[in-house]
Structure 1
Amino acid sequence: MSVFMLLAATVSAPAQAVHEPARGTAERAEILNALRPMLEARLGPPVEFVVDWMRSGNGWAFVQVSPQRPGGGAINLRQTTYAEQAEYMDGIATFALLRLQYDRWNLIDFAVGPTDVFWQGDPLYAQLPRGLTPY
């Protein structure tokens, strides 16, 4: 393939707009299911999510979730792998960056209970589509 053809194919491919995957869609379920194993390993299973923010676009997704036990049960950080860090954390809110690669969502970066907007100033996040992160 010539450089011109490759460039033309790249230019003509439409960019996927950043959007919020709707409840009940496969995309939303796949993103949350990619996040679940990491959180269950750290918080203990089972974990379900209240989605506070979810955006997807151009093969990237960014989520902010509030993990809980099924039925809305609270998770006590002092009974998780975060027990020794709990007093320094801002709750259990979890932020995660995912990338659609090889036909599945992959966890790229995350923070549980951050006390600041950890992604601001990070060169990786500067490459993301506008509107993917909340701030």
Structure 2
Amino acid sequence: MIESFSEERRFSLYSQFLAGFFLSALLLLATSADIRAQSVHEPARGTAERTELLNAVRPMLEARVGPPVEFVVDWMRSGGGWAFVQLSPQRPGGGAIDLSRTTFASDAEYMDGLLTFALLRHQYGRWNLIDFVVGPTDVFWQGDPLYAQLPRGLTPY
């Protein structure tokens, strides 16, 4: 014998289903927004992630200013497979890099020193340099559609 639900019982079950569905959807949206915001972190000194990020930027800069280069980290955030760094390059031990002896010599008067910004993506088991700017005089990433896709909190502004 097949038991049928009354109209009132069906409406109650349907209402409970809809309420549960919408509550689950809201919780999922809130959780994914929180995870996206929480996933951005600053890799701590001495960690493999921090070393890998710096080593991914180093060849690009050494090709332009000559080796060896070490960095003072002004900003470093990583999350969601992306990383953004703001670095002040120097010679080992804190020595200044002479711009007149680099590939930037003819542009030095238009630059804000060697302050370096880089966007990196973790793919194929390593950090890859996606975009970089050396010595910008503005917030170059503002308005760029690529940067609009990044996790919130990855860039400084």
Same fold per TM (> 0.5)?
yes
Give the partner amino acid of 2:130.
Answer: I
Deviation digits for residues 98-127 of structure 1 (CA, Å, limit 9, x no counterpart)? 000001000000000000000000000000
Partner residue of 2:95?
A: 73
Q: 1:51 aligns with which of 73, 79, 82?
A: 73
Match of 1:124 in 2: 146
1:78 offset after TM fit, Å?
1.0
- Look up the equivalent residue of 1:19 and give its one-letter code: H
Q: 2:127 aligns with which of 87, 90, 105?
A: 105
Residue 29 (structure 1) shift: 0.2
- 1:31 is aligned to 53
1:94 to 116, 122, 131: 116
Structure 1 segment 12-23 matched on structure 2, within 5 A: 17-23=39-45
Gaps of 5+ in 1: 1-10
TM-score, normalization by structure 1: 0.89
Is the partner of 1:84 in helix, strand or coil?
helix
Q: Distance in 2 between matches of 1:76 and 1:117?
A: 24
| Number of residue-to-residue matches in the alignment | 125
More helix by share: 2
TM-score by length of 2: 0.76
- 1:76 Cα deviation from its structure 2 partner: 1.1
Instruction: Give the distance between the partners of 1:122 and 1:78, measured in 2 at CA.
Output: 31
One-letter amino acid of the counterpart of residue 120, structure 1: Q
Which structure: larger Rg?
Answer: 2
For 1:128, the aligned partner's letter is L
